[in-house]
Amino acid sequence: MTKSQNHTKTVKDYIRTIVDFPHEGIMFRDVTTLFSDPCGFRMAVDQMLHPYAGIQIDKVAGLEARGFILGGAIAHQLGAGFVPIRKKGKLPGETIEQDYKLEYGEATIELHKDAIQPGERILLVDDLLATGGTADAGIKLIHRLGGDILACSFIIDLPELGGRKLLESKGMNIDILCEFDGL
């Protein structure tokens, strides 16, 4: 495909599906193919930040790990700071933590205690919204530090898993670039 033909593609067209990964019956939506294509990556970042052009955003918070890739690029374009929300034990400074449920157990994410100041306007980003557990835990951390979450932005939604409904039930504004059926 030539560069002139790329304008007809959508973000969804750049995302590869890997069948039975990491377990049988799972359709893994792989955004590495989106990230590795300069047109696809630019398209995704531009579409994720577009609703916030001209709106004051102090910081973009990215959920580990693909949210870091998106969050850094979006924060740069918006002229905002970037805050990583990481798995437990990965941040070197003083942190607060939040447990959340996974399909197969529990996990914990952390945020530096000084990462967000009360009243700062935050955009939370990640690549995929499934059950909403990780995003909900990130929202709780940001709120505990007094941050005001303007919205949560994702490339992919898996609507059957209910994450969007969960976050909207908690008053969150949600932006999604594309949806995939199934798990």
User: Catalytic pick from 42, 103, 160, 179?
Assistant: 103
What is the Cα–Cα distance from 64 to 113, expressed in whole angstroms?
17
What is the Cα–Cα distance from 3 to 113, expressed in whole angstroms?
45
Q: Where are the beta strands (DSSP E) in the chain?
A: 16-19, 27-30, 59-63, 81-87, 95-102, 105-112, 121-129, 148-157, 174-179
| 29 counts as catalytic | no
User: Catalytic pick from 29, 66, 86, 164?
Assistant: 66
> Identity (one letter) of the amino acid at 183?
L
Task: Supply 75's token pair.
Answer: 């924060």
| 66 counts as catalytic | yes
Nearest to 176 by CA among 155, 151, 148, 162: 155
Which residues form the catalytic set?
66, 103
